[in-house]
Amino acid sequence: MPAVDVVDETFLAVPPPVVKAAFANPNAWRTLWPDLTLEVYADRGDEGLRWTVRGALTGTMEVWLEPMLDGTLLHYFLRADLPGQAGPRELRRELTRRQFAAKNIAFDLKTTLEDGRRPGCPP
User: Does residue 123 fall inside a structural domain?
Assistant: no
Range of the domain at 15: 4-114
CATH of the domain at 55: 3.30.530.20
pLDDT in tens, 50-101: 999 999 999 999 999 999 988 999 999 999 999 888 888 999 999 999 999 9
User: Does residue 28 fall inside a structural domain?
Assistant: yes
- pTM recorded for the entire structure: 0.91
User: Does residue 51 fall inside a structural domain?
Assistant: yes
Q: How many CB atoms lie within 10 A of CB 21?
A: 13
In contact, 74 and 19? CB cutoff 8 Å: yes
Distance CA 24, CA 19 (A): 9
User: Does residue 10 fall inside a structural domain?
Assistant: yes
User: Does residue 80 fall inside a structural domain?
Assistant: yes
Nearest to 70 by CA among 21, 114, 22, 24: 114
User: Does residue 122 fall inside a structural domain?
Assistant: no
- Total of domains in the chain: 1
Q: At what angle do helices 88-114 and 16-24 cross, to 10 degrees?
A: 120
User: Does residue 121 fall inside a structural domain?
Assistant: no
Angle at 54 between CA 48 and CA 57, to 5 degrees: 95
